[in-house]
Amino acid sequence: AQSSSYFVILALSIAVNLLLVFQFCVDGEWRLTWSKRAAEEAERVAAIPCSGHGTAYLDGLFLMGRTSPDCSEFVTECAANADSGDPYFLQPFWMQHAAQITQGRYIVFGAGSTQLLNAAVHALSSHNSSNSSSPASVVATIPYYRVRFLLYKTQTEFFRSLDYRFEETHPHFLIYSEAGKVIEFVTSPNNPDGKLNKAVLHGPNASAIYDRVYYWPHFTAIPNPADDDLMLFSFPNSLVMLVLDLGT
């Protein structure tokens, strides 16, 4: 009799818990209404002007007469919805800032980051000290985005040049104990913290390549124009030009 009482209590407890979970998660209906509410809130936030430069839109299924993302409903035959949103939401920013001062600068176009990054490393390493037979050291500022770090490392090692080599770490004291050239990759703004990093290494043998692939107002606040000796910019996130990079 005692065991049967325990069984009844256990069954009632399970039933009550299932009822509470059902009521909390799906509001008494067999659908995840909490996810749809979250999607509606995200859509409302996305409709707010983005940094004063336009409106950001989220693509997705039609919900309550307008588009919004909904992860609980899958449309397998729909690869992507590229017909909605505002592709010109950065237009006011570029109308105001596109004609910045470029006197005394040279602009080089390349098909992707690899071309321009390696061209910059090759050009800077050719200025290695004439009294040193050691190759230039190529390093990346810490912390760095892992994908960008692998790009720097791979493209530096791919050509197996005798003029430069990639260093896994950032050894300040070791580098300056040698007479060779130092080339530093600086991702600015950094990913994912958005910090506008500056070069750590300075001196007559140090050069910096500023990778500004994330230099966009919807990624991080831009307080002033970029003004470094060698900078790389990219257009893929705004103009759907997946292979175009710009170096100055």
CATH of the domain at 243: 3.40.640.10
Helix axes 146-158, 113-125, angle to 10 degrees: 60
Res. 26: pLDDT tops 60: no
Residue 217 counted as domain residue:
yes
Based on the number of CB atoms within 10 Å of its own CB, is 245 exposed (0-12), middle (13-18) or buried (19 or more)?
Answer: buried
Global confidence as pTM:
0.53
pLDDT at position 23 = 67
> Coil, helix or strand for 209?
strand
Residues 155 and 125 in one domain: yes
For 183, the 3-state DSSP assignment is strand
Average pLDDT of the residues in 13-17: 84
- For 119-141, write each residue's pLDDT tens digit: 888 888 875 544 556 777 777 76
Number of compact structural domains in the chain: 2
Q: Domain boundary at 99, 121, 155, which?
A: 99
Same domain, 74 and 44: yes
The Cα 126–Cα 48 span in angstroms is 49
> Cα–Cα distance between 65 and 167 in angstroms, integer?
55
Of 99, 122, 151, the residue that ends a domain is 99
Q: Is residue 42 part of a domain?
A: yes
Contact (CB, 8 A) for 59 and 84 = yes
Domain boundary among 99, 121, 151: 99
The reply to whether 114 and 231 lie within a common domain is yes
Q: Which domain holds residue 116?
A: 101-247
